[in-house]
Chains A and B, each alone.
Chain A
């Protein structure tokens, strides 16, 4: 009987924690658009009678609307029996698996061991202040030697490394179950019972006198046991941001002297197990109970982002969708969808770099692929209508939202979901029309549909959202387009090649129209469900993560960040400075270090967050965002696309309060640099949005806004002290 060893993987592959200034927390949702999961003080998931997770209904402390609860990223270890096992199963204390046992003096061998504990190690860091300036798309494919650095005056390598917030790795397990990414000697570190807490590490933290808020920790982590499952929870920072100088905000994304406490880093685990070792003394069998441990082969990553104020509102493109597209088109992730004919695994398993080159040359979308309506198509059309309620784009009282999903609407669910049936296809033209106004991959600088029609009212291309760079003239990318894989789904759909699950194999399933209706139980389901709550575009720079996620080089396998090895206290710094003393510079080929995903994001995050509402985009010329006709007396008529939103799901503009009236979500915080600075404190007072109703009747209303701190919300049209209430990004 041949046995293979068990493969262990940590799920989710990328966990999302979120900042909060409260000590209380909940667990990150594992389904797109789901409310976070409620838990007890030790992080154990609360379950209802049916065994489903209980969802939170309150995002702030009971008696304090200025305290936002943290979102914990929860990790688990799954065991995969063999190569055929695609789903995996979470491991348990007492569970038996096939481990590879190896000591310094014995060759590796397979033993059946019993799990006793898991050592979880996480290393968070924040590299924002040490990194380059974020200049929209510039840097996406490497930085010019003269690309400006944040804090450019710090050019000595060791001083530059001091700009990194690096508390060092922390290891916890069931016995030593609590740790903190805090400065040695700080209050936050006192609760630390972690495994190696006494081991010193060359920590770097910002000066303790930064203003307005000091940073002495990037968060904490602990382990609990629930139903014999050993799980890790990672909590992020307190939302503290501060500047070494007199705090002012000058830019939405690069502010020298500033630090914040978002972070990211690797999550690894070592399984501790025991087994009975059998040796022989002559003929006598000697059984010895032996303790051993084995590394989980496929580790994970954690990213700490800012709070999700409308957790149930899905982004127009989620990070899951963005990453899926990359893996499908670059990593032979789904050969049936994109690959080399005949689109089977056999012909689509490139392993070496050369094989990948050949594969990429020949691979293409499978023209016979039938996307599934509710999995692949409907989310694209379901989201816009809800999102418009967070923007000023369409006045609901006008009654004319072109995203209408009801009968007769452009996005009528009944009409769009109906595939050709027995040769009949009454909705063909509607689908072609809808597909026709979806912005193509090569149309990201087009505002309206391209065609010969002379009509002055050409339909605008969709989604009508900002792209990666509507701001500067370097690598212009004005508007957002759905990902190529999604556009391919839409193309198949428009041609009638799609399946409506609810009419076919899931007819009897009440959840057929929502593939994410139930909590995922598979490893990959958890990976993708978690990522479904992060912004997948546009990236200017983005919310949790940015355009670096579109680079296949950073992944070891689909959905997994490649881990680099690194020297404690010597995390990489920009190459021009690293070259001065020969220390480590970034190397995507070798993998990522703690802090490498969040370093691109604006610092402090509150500035960009405040400005990410909507944008006027110059559409005079495709390749130019900024033109200066006056300087040459050019009589060209400048054309502007007004009020193009960024990502309303992450940063609402207008919302309905509990009384049903429409108000500015961030009212009380002015639309200027001072407002950006105010947001450094005021983010914790903003309201959350929760959904009620189902399907096409779903609406969102605001709860838990701290009017005491921000004042009563302002309705559109109302003016208080002459304030404008929305804010657009601008270059200095």
Chain B
């Protein structure tokens, strides 16, 4: 007889607990009724301002209390804010709210104004009282259902009674724990999900695994969290990666943040608005002299800080132009426009969600906005998932005509184009409509698209002025900025549908009774990237400048030159050039990609054996330097030992030869000290989290080792290796295996450009 499993999923248990507690009478729960029965409601809804299940993401976006005047409640509330509850009342003063009868329309007007700007308050905040929540707080502890069942504030009777309502039943400790476990397991809805989630934990929870890992008998798996989360776990610098190396999650949160910033664009003075940051460039940018590089470094720094308010693990990826040199050989010097190739991340594409919006879009007369043919084409593009380098190329593929209409003698997009572009920009906020990468009309432009060798030449320049721009007394464009200028022009490109660029459009403008305006907002002569007044409105700007900054940082590693006036203040900020001289001090570094292996510091390591680094083939081929980092190596009261580093040698041991071994990287010794003091003196120090703790590195702070493995890695790749694995072998000073000498918290392989 086949055995049947009666195992119930955690979620089913949760539902049954709550069903039993509630009994027959189900109160309204603010219109949600039996919210636990619908996972979508349960996971996303709020009950009187209390999110029933705190959103995932370690507390940064969890703010249980709803706030006033711009501070956020929870993201679910935000999505509801189309209803006027959120926008009115809270911030209005008593006097304001004294609305006379005959100005009743005012309420309506201001309400609709707010909702048409689409401000869902998506930005995380510390809540109305200020102060963020601790990331160590469990998700369940922040969830309204747990707080409510436990009878904690606000469900302690002061505001609301204990949950559940309208029943005599009170949840037992065990029942609450079951629900909390379910939430802390990230709310799996099925047994399958549960098992998948558990699997990830296993390698770290099982003690025998820890030993197997520390002996090299099991492979250390690459961390699945974002690069910056990994780096943070070992107090590392944040990493700005090459944009194609971002994981889908990393790219997703970056896009989500930009999308959120776009929602505040109606508020000119709100520094959560994307356009607010773009206008800083419009108003304050420095070009053509030594301040070009430091000013833009700080510009990126402050913008990135803002993004990190949204999610602390966001960094600005860079656009490595030279990766695309081959494919752009002909696109720049060409009489045809809009042929250039840029990273896919900035491209134009459609998702199912976006398609659904377009599919139901109505014209002003109520008819469908898109013809059945167009809808079919859009559906196909969605299905294929093709990414286009410009919106115009997307339109062509969809068979949709680019249409301009005359509104008060100004050229604007037709409703169809407007709706389509709005959706496309929501789908990928890194894409920008007025961007036609490729040739520039009427100018000789740059003689060629920059290649790796071009950049190498620039990096060889020894003088800062020649590299980065002359001082105020003798100002001129530096070599890097000149290349940068060309890339602005390339990425903005020429609008193929502007009269000057296309005789067809001279006719169209005539028919529409329009005069061509090179600076027209919807249909300008060139892309916005080509004009330093508008460039930063195009999200590509940030990737472009991240790359400029990276090349400067790389130049700084090799040269000592600086701008002349180091005390000059970089308006609109109060920092000086001096403050901008080190990317480390600003907290970041550049890597094409990086992988991280978490190592338990509870068991002494004798051998580290890693699973292959999961990076793209392109990264392996294109990166300049391979760096292996041993993170947080403990130093107190430990025997000295040697650590031998191998690549692609899974069976490495103390007996593996070092001489004449292509796979051997390096051997180095630890240099530890004895530690004396009262009980606990030799323990690991607390993380330095206090704002005003300016003491230098703690004596017992575990240290890092960096090993340059470039030569070994290149050698093996040249020999045809398809991937990279790292092995560490710990050897006592007597040449024999040694336990309990090396305790570390992680290993990174950094692929540096």
Interface residues of A (CB under 8 A from B): 334, 336-337, 341-344, 367-370, 419-425, 428-429, 432-433, 435-437, 440-443, 449-453, 455, 457-459, 461, 487, 491, 494-497, 499-500, 503-508
Q: Are A433 and B88 in contact (CB under 8 A)?
A: no
Nearest CB of chain B from residue A422's CB, rounded to whole Å: 3
Of listed B32, B128, B166, residue having the most chain A CB within 10 A? B166
Q: Which residues of A contact B27 (CB under 8 A)?
A: 503-505, 507
User: What separation, in Å, do the CA atoms of A367 and B30 have in the docked complex?
Assistant: 19
Q: List 28 A-B contacts (CB under 8 A).
A: A336-B153, A341-B129, A367-B90, A367-B128, A368-B67, A419-B30, A420-B30, A423-B31, A424-B83, A429-B107, A433-B99, A433-B107, A440-B95, A441-B94, A449-B99, A449-B100, A451-B99, A451-B103, A453-B100, A455-B102, A458-B101, A459-B101, A495-B88, A496-B85, A504-B28, A504-B29, A505-B161, A505-B165
Number of A-B contacts (CB under 8 A): 146
Instruction: Check if A344 sits within 8 Å of B100, measured CB to CB.
Output: no
The minimal Cβ–Cβ distance linking A127 to chain B, given in whole angstroms, is 39
User: Do A487 and B84 touch across chains, with their CB atoms under 8 A apart?
Assistant: no
User: Are B28's CB and A336's CB within 8 A?
Assistant: no
Assembled-state Cα–Cα distance A425/B94 (Å): 21
Q: In chain B, residues 53-99, which have Cβ atoms closer than 8 Å to a Cβ of chain A?
A: 65-68, 80, 82-85, 88-90, 94-95, 97-99
User: What A residues does B97 contact at CB under 8 A?
Assistant: 432, 435-436, 491, 494
CA distance A503 to B25 in the complex (A): 11
Q: In the complex, A369→B28 CA distance in Å? A: 19
Contact code string B213-226 (vs A, CB < 8 Å = 1, else 0): 00000000000000
Q: Which of A334, A423, A432, A459 contacts B83 (CB 8 A)?
A: A423
CA distance A435 to B104 in the complex (A): 13
Complex: chain A residue closest to B103, CB-CB: A453
Kindly list chain B residues whose C-beta atoms are within 8 Å of the C-beta of A425.
83-85
Given contact pairs A336-B158, A370-B48, A495 touches B98 in the complex (Cβ within 8 A): no
In the complex, chain B residues whose CB is within 8 Å of the CB of A508: 25, 166
A368 contacts B49, CB within 8 Å? yes
Chain B residues, Cβ within 8 Å of A369: 159
Q: How far is the CB of A338 from chain B (nearest CB, A)?
A: 12
Tell me if B108 counts as interface (CB < 8 A to partner A): yes
In angstroms, how far is the closest chain A Cβ from the Cβ of B45?
8
Q: Which of A369, A420, A437 has the most CB of B within 10 A?
A: A420
Q: How far is the CB of A495 from chain B (nearest CB, A)?
A: 3
Is B302 in the interface zone, CB < 8 Å from A?
no
Query: Is B268 an interface residue, CB under 8 A from the partner?
Result: no
Q: Please determine whether B30 and A507 come into contact, CB atoms closer than 8 angstroms.
A: no
Given A425-B85, A429-B104, list of 17 further CB < 8 A pairs?
A: A368-B49, A419-B30, A420-B30, A422-B32, A423-B80, A425-B83, A425-B84, A432-B99, A436-B99, A442-B94, A453-B101, A457-B101, A495-B88, A503-B28, A504-B30, A507-B27, A507-B28
* Cβ–Cβ < 8 Å partners of A458 in chain B: 100-102
Q: How far is the CB of B699 from chain A (nearest CB, A)?
A: 37
B65 adjacent to A368 (CB under 8 Å): yes
Is B236 engaged at the interface, CB distance under 8 Å to the other chain?
no
Nearest A residue to B83, CB-CB: A425
Distance in Å: Cβ of A217 to nearest Cβ of chain B:
46
Q: How long is the Cα–Cα vector from A366 to B129 in the complex, in angstroms?
A: 10
Q: With contacts A367-B67, A491-B89, A505-B165 known, is A421 near B28, CB below 8 A?
A: yes
Q: Which residues of A contact B25 (CB under 8 A)?
A: 507-508
Size band of the B side of the interface? 35 or more
Is B486 engaged at the interface, CB distance under 8 Å to the other chain? no
Asked whether any CB of chain A lies closer than 8 Å to the CB of B267, the reply is: no
Please state if B83 and A420 are interface contacts (CB–CB under 8 Å).
yes
The residue on B at minimum CB distance from A421 is: B31
- Check A494 against B154 for contact (C-beta < 8 Å): no
In the complex, A370 Cα to B158 Cα: how many Å?
Answer: 10
The 10 A-B pairs at the shortest CB distance, nearest first, are namely A495-B89, A421-B31, A422-B31, A505-B165, A341-B129, A496-B85, A336-B158, A503-B28, A436-B99, A451-B100
B668 contacts partner chain A, Cβ-Cβ < 8 Å? no
Q: Contacts of A337 on B, CB cut-off 8 Å?
A: 158
Q: Is B160 interfacial (CB 8 A cutoff)?
A: yes
CA distance A666 to B65 in the complex (A): 54
A370 and B107 in contact (CB under 8 A), knowing A504-B28, A506-B166? no
User: What is the CB-to-nearest-CB distance from A524 to chain B, in angstroms, rounded to a whole number?
Assistant: 14
CB distance from A425 to the nearest CB of B (A): 5
A450 touches B98 (CB 8 A): yes
Report whether B89 and A494 are in contact in the complex, using a CB–CB cutoff of 8 Å.
Answer: yes
Smallest beta-carbon distance A616→chain B, Å: 24
| Measured CA separation A433–B32 after assembly (Å) | 27
Q: Using A367-B68, A452-B103, A499-B48 as known contacts, say yes or no to A428 and B88 having CB atoms under 8 A apart.
A: yes
Most buried by A among B27, B100, B102, B160: B100
Nearest B residue to A428 via CB reads B84
CA distance A420 to B28 in the complex (A): 11
Q: Are A507 and B85 in contact (CB under 8 A)?
A: no
On chain A, the residues within 8 Å of B94 by CB distance are 440-443, 487, 491
CB distance from A602 to the nearest CB of B (A): 33
Assuming the contacts A334-B158, A506-B166, asked whether A436 and B98 have C-beta atoms less than 8 A apart, the reply is: yes
Give Cα A450 to B84, complex, Å.
Answer: 23
Distance A614 CA – B190 CA, assembled complex (angstroms)? 70
Selected from B95, B108, B161, the residue in CB contact (under 8 A) with A429 is: B108
Contact A496/B89 with A370-B48, A419-B30 known, Cβ cut-off 8 Å: yes
| Chain B nearest Cβ from A669, distance in angstroms | 39
Most buried by A among B28, B45, B68, B153: B28
Rounded to whole angstroms, the CA-CA distance of A577 and B452 in the bound complex is 101
Chain B residues near A459 (CB-CB < 8 A)? 100-101
Residues of B within 8 A of A342 (CB): 65, 129
The residue of chain A having its C-beta at the shortest distance from the C-beta of B129 within the complex is A341
Give Cα distance in the complex from A66 to B87, angstroms: 60
A427 CB to nearest B CB, Å: 11
**CA distance in complex: A650, B265 (Å):** 57
* Cα–Cα, bound, A491→B98 (Å): 11
**Least CB distance, A310 to chain B, in whole angstroms:** 32
**Which residue in chain A gives the minimum CB-CB distance to B69?**
A367
Q: Which A residues touch B90, using CB under 8 A? A: 367, 495
Bound-complex Cα distance A377 to B467 (A): 71
Most buried by B among A421, A432, A441, A457: A432
Residue of B whose beta carbon sits closest to that of A495 = B89
- Residues of chain A within 8 A (CB-CB) of B165 are 504-505, 507
CB proximity of B101 to chain A, nearest CB, Å: 5
Interface centre among A337, A343, A423, A499 (most CB of B within 10 A): A423
Given A368-B154, A449-B100, A495-B85 contact (CB < 8 Å): yes
In the complex, chain A residues whose CB is within 8 Å of the CB of B82: 423
Residues of chain B with a CB closer than 8 A to A419's CB: 30
Give the chain B neighbours of A420 by CB distance below 8 A.
Answer: 30-31, 83, 85
Closest residue of A by beta carbon distance from B68: A367
Q: Are A428 and B49 in contact (CB under 8 A)?
A: no
B240 to chain A, nearest CB (A): 37
In angstroms, how far is the closest chain A Cβ from the Cβ of B66? 6
Do A370 and B49 form a contact, CB below 8 Å, given A336-B158, A421-B28? Answer: yes
Neighbouring B residues of A504 by C-beta, 8 Å: 27-30, 160, 165-166
Task: Find chain A residues with CB under 8 A from B49 CB.
Answer: 368, 370, 497
Indicate if the CB atoms of A455 and B84 lie closer than 8 Å.
Answer: no
Output the least CB separation between B684 and chain A (Å).
32
> How far is it, in angstroms, between the C-alpha of A461 and the C-alpha of B95 when the chains are bound?
12
A433 to B48, CA, bound (A): 22
Cβ contact of B154, chosen from A370, A423, A440, A452, cutoff 8 A: A370
A368 to B72, CA, bound (A): 12
Which one of A337, A500, A507 has the greatest number of beta carbons of chain B within 10 Å?
A507
Residues of B within 8 A of A503 (CB): 27-28
Name the B residues within 8 Å of A433 (CB-CB): 99, 101, 104, 107
Q: Which of A370, A457, A495 has the most CB atoms of chain B within a 10 A radius of its CB?
A: A495
Q: How far is the CB of A452 from chain B (nearest CB, A)?
A: 7
- Shortest C-beta distance, A492 to chain B (Å), equals 8
